[in-house]
Amino acid sequence: METGGEAGGGKPEYSIIVPTYNERLNVAIIVYLIFKHLQDAKFEIIIVDDGSPDGTQDIVKQLQQVYGEERVLLRARPRKLGLGTAYVHGLKHASGDFVVIMDADLSHHPKYLPSFIRKQKLTGADIVTGTRYVNNGGVHGWNLMRKLTSRGANVLAQTLLRPGASDLTGSFRLYKRSVLEDVISSCVSKGYVFQMEMIVRATRKGYHIEEVPITFVDRVFGISKLGGSEIVGYLKGLVYLLLTT
């Protein structure tokens, strides 16, 4: 079966890493939307599932029957082992010269992927990151308290770390593969702090970062994995980066 994104076949140019945990209701939609919006690109999707008990892996195997196992790769792990290590695991199986990281819960809409690719080609950027905090960017589905918490955390990090990017905690990014391999090898954080450390380390290493405005949409299906422990971890990570970068 020929599907969008094959663009002449051959080695994929873009490897899209999507970590999952209990995303049975979302994973088929995100894969469909990636194929819909990247019909002219050579890409592969690497699903890194951390032993989801809800049947996420069964859905991915069905998607492989539709799109092909060479286009949708399932690289499962036995249990939850952290977001940063999920990217490392996916990177080991990536074939593309560029790597996209994005969430499976539909908060990162694949319609922005062509804008990421265009921005990288126009600027030669090492990293293109989606941002909620510039004109035409934003958040949909959050209450006022969560918006204030997110904005406050970002302003605090901007003030202390001066990272060279407007959205530190976002996880919708395109990297040159060699840059991702370099930056990720120097990161020690886990969970949500990992995204912040990635950008700060990249800035300190002198990599060229560009931004694309996105609207972050709160998950429709499933339960948010952000809680009080992640907020405490964020503050600890902020102090760590302040002292070590």
The average confidence (pLDDT) of the chain is: 85
Q: Compute the distance between CA of residue 73 and CA of residue 16 in angstroms, rounded to an integer.
A: 10
Instruction: Tell me what pLDDT residue 6 has.
Output: 52
Report yes or no: 17 and 100 within 8 Å, Cβ to Cβ. yes
Instruction: Tell me what pLDDT residue 151 has.
Output: 67
Instruction: Tell me what pLDDT residue 239 has.
Output: 73
Q: Where does the pLDDT of residue 221 fall: very low under 50, low under 70, confident under 90, or very high at 90 and above?
A: low
Q: What is the pLDDT of residues 28-64, one digit of tens each?
A: 999 999 999 999 999 999 999 999 999 999 999 999 9
Instruction: Tell me what pLDDT residue 1 has.
Output: 43
- H/E element holding 37? helix 27-37
Q: Compute the distance between CA of residue 132 and CA of residue 166 in angstroms, rounded to an integer.
A: 8
Q: Where does the pLDDT of residue 195 fall: very low under 50, low under 70, confident under 90, or very high at 90 and above?
A: confident
Q: Where does the pLDDT of residue 93 fall: very low under 50, low under 70, confident under 90, or very high at 90 and above?
A: very high
Instruction: Tell me what pLDDT residue 47 has.
Output: 98
**Comparing 82 with 190, which gets the higher pLDDT?**
82
Mention every residue, 6+ apart, whose C-beta is less than 8 A from residue 59.
24, 27, 28
**Comparing 77 with 132, which gets the higher pLDDT?**
77
148 pLDDT more than 80: no
